[in-house]
Amino acid sequence: MATGLSELEKRALDLIREEKGILQSILWKRLGLDSREGSRLVLRLVRKGLVKREQVSIDGRRTYKLYPVEARGRDQGLLVSLDLVLDIPCMTCPHFRECGNHEFYTPSNCSRLEEWLNRLVARRRSRQRREHL
């Protein structure tokens, strides 16, 4: 789950991802928000680059449909979600500013980063095994 998001933002993002696109009015309803609170929530997610809006017309009325934003990696069509990027341990690391290639703190010798990458690989392998059952 993405760090740096409020519980409400996480719930909204989960719903948008589960539905692979949802009308904003339905999202607000599911979250128990009025249109003002709902609009603000959606704008925050759009500003954070996690959600994109597409204008649609329902019964002659304009509204927005919300979609999750995902970025494709350059190599082998690897799908990288922004959620994943926000989850990188560097985002909350106290040594972030001092960390670099030839510094005391370095990504090439970082146990936090290595553990995170190992968890990622293990999850991916487990998903691939399930898909091939």
Residues near ligand SF4, by CB under 6 A: 89-90, 93, 95-96, 99, 105, 107, 110, 112-113
Report, in Å, the least distance between residue 86 CB and ligand SF4: 13
Q: Which is nearer to ligand SF4, 2 or 13 (CB)?
A: 2
Q: Which is nearer to ligand SF4, 69 or 86 (CB)?
A: 86
Q: From start to end of the chain, where are the E strands?
A: 22-23, 51-58, 61-68, 70-72, 79-81
Report, in Å, the least distance between residue 85 CB and ligand SF4: 13
Report, in Å, the least distance between residue 92 CB and ligand SF4: 8
Q: CA 94, CA 99: separation in Å to the nearest integer?
A: 10
Residue with tokens 């128990």: 32
Q: CA 40, CA 2: separation in Å to the nearest integer?
A: 19
